[in-house]
Structure 1
Amino acid sequence: MNEPTHGTVHPVVQEVTARIRRRSAATRAAYLDRVAAAAEQGPARSRLACANFAHGLAAMGTPDKDALRRFVKPNVAIVSAYNDMLSAHKPFETYPALLKQALREAGGIGQFAGGVPAMCDGITQGRDGMQLSLFSRDLIAMATAVALSHDMFDGALLLGVCDKIVPGLVIGALAFGHLPTILVPAGPMASGLPNRDKSRVRQRYAEGLASSDELLAAEMASYHSPGTCTFYGTANSNQMLMEVMGLHLPGASFVHPQSPLRDALTRAAAAQVLRLTALTDTYTPIGHVVDERAVVNGVVALLATGGSTNHTLHLPAMAAAAGIQLDWADFADLSAVVPLLARVYPNGAADVNDFHAAGGTAFLIRELLDAGLLHPDVKTVAGQGLDAYRLAPALADDELTYEPALADSLDLEVLRPASTPFAPEGGLRMLRGNLGRAVIKVSAVAEQHHVVEAPAAVFDDQYDFLAAFSAGALDRDLVAVIRYQGPAANGMPELHKLTPALSVLQERGHRVALVTDGRMSGASGTVPAAIHVTPEAAAGGPIARIRDGDPVRLDARTGVLEIDVPDGELATRAVAAPPPQQHDPVGTGRELFAAFRRSVGPAEYGASVIHSLAKASA
């Protein structure tokens, strides 16, 4: 990495940001016009008819009701993804009461405006319900909009942690871009069985060497209490991005749910959102926080930490909600200059608690700022630009305070300074070739596996692949092609069930890779996987023309994904028919999402049903 002059932003970061700004000029301007128009109207509840307003106050206690009636206090919407099935969201059970009290003490009022659905990819892995997972992001965005649509609010506090939930909350909130909004996290559970030990049990089970009782015991020792799962998958990547994009309070991401510091941060979020409303002189709406610079900062943080591949879908979708056009080439160009500063499972042995103890987000953000890899001059909910995020939260006499980040990492196997990174480039790359475009995560893939050339083994369902593996029919070099798994085909489920079997083949010494138009888990790792292939098979993409035995080359070094078949022959091949089970699937609610499958946009633009038409036309 070429070191920029201290205090300047790296030229590639500047150029990518400028390119995004040029590309987005019309859509961003239109979005900001809508934000300005909404802001100029002032608190919307002042224009409600008496009957409308009375409905909005009917359930409130007398002091709060009187204050709202006189329009003398700001009213904050609380929108929550609470349920007590998801460990990460269980802590939110007590947050509404805590936030309402903190708002009262700070001179405001809070109303629980609505709940949004929250499903767990860990539970639905390999099940039909996984076909609803990605679509749940846009459904959450819509539910957030419903919660905020009552014209009663001056700001919002959004409670969510996991995979599709945080992006959905942000997309919904950006539809109300004139409202100041803070994301309120819950924190990770305490460390349990080390993730690599769990992974080894999974591989042994895939080989028939461990029983289901052993596997269940290992899984329950890993996932064991309230809080976010401790590996660095999509849920914890969400938290990292919200902090670096200025939507969390500094240092809020990885404090334990049961910690007094967590309660202090939650109360502080309530007090802070009141300082940002249009009733103050420090008005900071979310539509101004999420700008081109904040989006680039999010991509940089994702790359520097080897974060979840799911964010190659979610970041473009969130950006589009703010009128910003982000594409995979932007990820690729930034990845070439952003060093890898963290190794957290599946990119290393440590978990997010180890990352937090080593120095955490404050150390990481300081290093990236000092290296010129982040834009410091952004709006944030902290109100002080990104430099406020160099500080780490602490308690002093039960009061929240902030201290400078650690001068040095406490564990160089987990977190490193920008001067001595784990790798000179980020953890994500883009692949191009005659099979289309795809994304690959290389931060956990050993260098000797970055290039794989082998015959294709083609499947239209992950269970057909697993059955062939169990029968011993795949004990060879191969590129597993799992197609008809894209958003228009079946909602783009994660295919994490493939990981143990593919890992076994790789450990046996075979050259192995995966090519799919589906997703892998945010915890995907050691096997090279070209994912999110677009155009997808359901759109007639070249992946639907691959045949068993075709030579396929995946080269993460040069960014190539191609099939060694003459272009003329490939173009004239018939498109393979989709599997029978994809014709209007029913059960587990899938029939309710038929309209989503018909209208969803391509993976490169976020696989969204909300912005697909506008993005495609742009």
Structure 2
Amino acid sequence: MSKLHPTIERITARIVERSKDSRSRYLDLIEREAEGQLDRHSVSCSNLAHAYAGALEDQAALKATRGPNLAIVSAYNDMLSAHQPYGAYPAQMKLYAREVGATAQVAGATPAMCDGVTQGHDGMDLSLFSRDVIALSTAIAMSHAMYDGMALLGICDKIVPGLLIGALRFGHLPAIFIPSGPMPSGIANKEKQKVRQLYAEGKASRAELLESESASYHSPGTCTFYGTANSNQMMMELMGLHMPGAAFVPPNTPLRSALTRAATQQLAAIGKDGNDYRPLARCVDEKAIVNAAVGLLATGGSTNHAIHIPAMARAAGVLIDWQDMDELSAAVPLIARVYPNGAGDVNHFHAAGGIGYVIGELLEAGLAHRDIVTVGGDDLGNYAMEPGLDGDQLTWREVGESGDMEMLRPASDPFQPDGGMRLVSGNLGRATFKASAVEKERWTVEAPCRVFERQEDVLEAFKKGELERDLVVVMRFQGPRANGMPELHKLTPALGVLQDRGYRVALVTDGRMSGASGKVPAAIHVTPEAFGGGPLSLLQDGDIVKICANTGVLETTADLSSRQPAPAPAPAQGTGRELFAMFRANADGAEQGGSSMLAMAGL
């Protein structure tokens, strides 16, 4: 067994020490819940009758309390391609549960919005706070004291973090995430990117753009680029919350069905009334959180997780910050290149060895904690395998060497010696820089800035030719308290065009860019945000701004000390945004997770 890398050991110890009080409070809460929380064995007959009335096929088993009753918390809808397969899961899972003497009920549903649909539109302002709503919805689903385990059906951006945050408040119960897998690969990613840039330049029609996009996103399953949704799946594997190797098996296949069956039956086996109790609170600890961060860095995953990892960790009483992640990044090599950081998508990644290969390499190099409590085996070593079928029997086998050295490399011969994410800081605040997506010669940009407060104004200036120079685009008042911290993908094609024309350009924003962050250098999630007087609110057109991932710098040469903050735009109305005023008013900073719910709960 490989010795743990000293940096991983040191940072884990630091997180443990920092989290001593908050983790202790969390575990005390969960112990009290385990001892005092009502369950279906002790609630009144009237309550039970209500809960069993709709479960016609399982009423006898439920009344007799013959086995564990599993809660299905589903984020199903058929507008979101990744979640469309979930429509068939509850009926299947009930059958799988009966095979082992258990029962299953749909305990509740959560929202599941698609950032790909709301991208660049008003609905995107609801996106980050949908995570809090999902966590609250999960808590409501689990509030009925009827369940012995949680089957969590979610994949995409805010959905997995929201489900996990909500489920952790019921951490005395076991929980398993059950994915549905990616859609088949469409057109080549470079071709898709090319058409987007041509459209931005006015050289491709809307019909041509729609044809290209439809060839990329074309059937049920998760989008195949390595964005937040697929980074979620990677993290669930590194934390041991999936059945091993479940992340990227395609939907509607015998292997996918076998994994769903195994997950359902494993959940029934790891409850408190069995001899293999694995409550969620024991699974999600400091080591599991460090594993999630290491996996993110090693694979060049979504920058959204610089926000989600601290939020998920807080729900378990664990405190991790961007300094921890930056120091981890210095020690963790980049061993995967998946689009937008490489040419191939997650299907190619899976075929080349996928998550099993990554975990095996990280364990062999001492970069991940093997000794965590997982739902699918004795330790994380079980996840350095890939699933398969031997006839109808689900099996796991060794992954072997990388099947594509352009996509997956050993930790001893990585794409680059450090991870895919950097902390940049200075007199403009602290921010995240996704280095894995940007060519190294572009890691430093120092140029006059142009300040904007709306994406549409950036695009209008681009069309007028006003941005044809070395430039730092500052996009402010996009933080959690200003407008809910939307993703700003609308800017990517235009900035990419400017870069291709030979200009040195960069983006600085208190908003998000996510897992589809492209080739343009960007300091994102700037905190403090502009709203409330953060440094970005003091910048003016023409100020020199420097962003450097090599030295970790985000600064301006301008004297900001005598300036007054620019006034924040009035809160937007429409598309339900006014209903989220409470979330915006109480949100904390991006580095803490950008959550109002956790802040108000004192977590």
TM-score, scaled to structure 2: 0.99
> Match of 1:455, SS?
strand
Deviation of 1:539 (Å): 2.3
> Match of 2:547, SS?
strand
Deviation of 1:42 (Å): 7.1
> Match of 2:152, SS?
strand
Residue equivalent to 1:3 = none
Residue equivalent to 1:519 = 512
- Alignment partner of 1:22 is 2:12: no
Quote the Cα distance in structure 1 between the aligned partners of 2:294 and 2:55: 44
- Alignment partner of 1:375 is 2:362: no
- Alignment partner of 1:496 is 2:489: yes
Summarize the alignment of residues 147-546 of structure 1 with structure 2, pairs less than 5 Å apart. 147-406=141-400, 408-546=401-539
Letter in 1 for 2:262: A
Residue equivalent to 2:553 = 560
Question: Is contact 1:43–1:154 with CA below 8 Å preserved after alignment?
Answer: no
Picking from 131, 137, 146, the partner of 2:140 is 146
Residue equivalent to 2:565 = 575
Residue equivalent to 1:612 = 599
Quote the Cα distance in structure 2 between the aligned partners of 1:151 and 1:297: 31
Q: Deviations over 1:54-77 (max 9, x none)?
A: 111111125x22222232211000
Residue equivalent to 1:585 = 572
Question: Is contact 1:317–1:608 with CA below 8 Å preserved after alignment?
Answer: yes
> Match of 1:283, SS?
coil
Quote the Cα distance in structure 2 between the aligned partners of 1:300 and 1:260: 31
- Alignment partner of 1:76 is 2:63: no
Count of aligned positions: 603
Residue equivalent to 1:89 = 83
Quote the Cα distance in structure 1 between the aligned partners of 2:551 and 2:159: 34
Q: Deviations over 1:527-579 (max 9, x none)?
A: 0000000000102100100000000000100100000023xxx1220100123
Letter in 1 for 2:595: S
Deviation of 1:409 (Å): 0.6
Letter in 1 for 2:586: S
Deviation of 1:521 (Å): 3.0
Quote the Cα distance in structure 2 between the aligned partners of 1:479 and 1:274: 54
> Match of 2:347, SS?
helix
Quote the Cα distance in structure 2 between the aligned partners of 1:328 and 1:42: 36
Quote the Cα distance in structure 1 between the aligned partners of 2:158 and 2:61: 36
Deviation of 1:585 (Å): 2.1
Letter in 1 for 2:392: D
- Alignment partner of 1:44 is 2:39: yes
Quote the Cα distance in structure 1 between the aligned partners of 2:372 and 2:256: 25
Residue equivalent to 1:599 = 586
> Match of 2:105, SS?
strand
> Match of 1:220, SS?
helix
Deviation of 1:584 (Å): 3.2
Deviation of 1:390 (Å): 1.3
Deviation of 1:614 (Å): 6.1
Q: Deviations over 1:167-208 (max 9, x none)?
A: 100001001111100000000000001111101100011111
Quote the Cα distance in structure 2 between the aligned partners of 1:448 and 1:389: 36
> Match of 2:40, SS?
helix
Letter in 2 for 1:130: M
Letter in 2 for 1:19: R
TM-score, scaled to structure 1: 0.96
Question: Is contact 1:100–1:110 with CA below 8 Å preserved after alignment?
Answer: yes
Quote the Cα distance in structure 2 between the aligned partners of 1:345 and 1:7: 31
Letter in 2 for 1:258: N
Quote the Cα distance in structure 1 between the aligned partners of 2:98 and 2:601: 41
Question: Is contact 1:187–1:228 with CA below 8 Å preserved after alignment?
Answer: yes
Q: CA RMSD in A?
A: 1.1
Question: Is contact 2:224–2:346 with CA below 8 Å preserved after alignment?
Answer: yes
Deviation of 1:163 (Å): 0.4
Deviation of 1:46 (Å): 1.7
Deviation of 1:41 (Å): 3.9
Q: Deviations over 1:198-236 (max 9, x none)?
A: 011000111111111111110000000000000000000
Quote the Cα distance in structure 2 between the aligned partners of 1:91 and 1:211: 33
Deviation of 1:141 (Å): 0.4
Structure 1, unmatched stretches of 5+, are 1-5
Q: Deviations over 1:105-157 (max 9, x none)?
A: 01100001111110000010110000000000010000011001000000010
> Match of 2:437, SS?
coil
Quote the Cα distance in structure 2 between the aligned partners of 1:374 and 1:497: 36
Letter in 2 for 1:223: Y
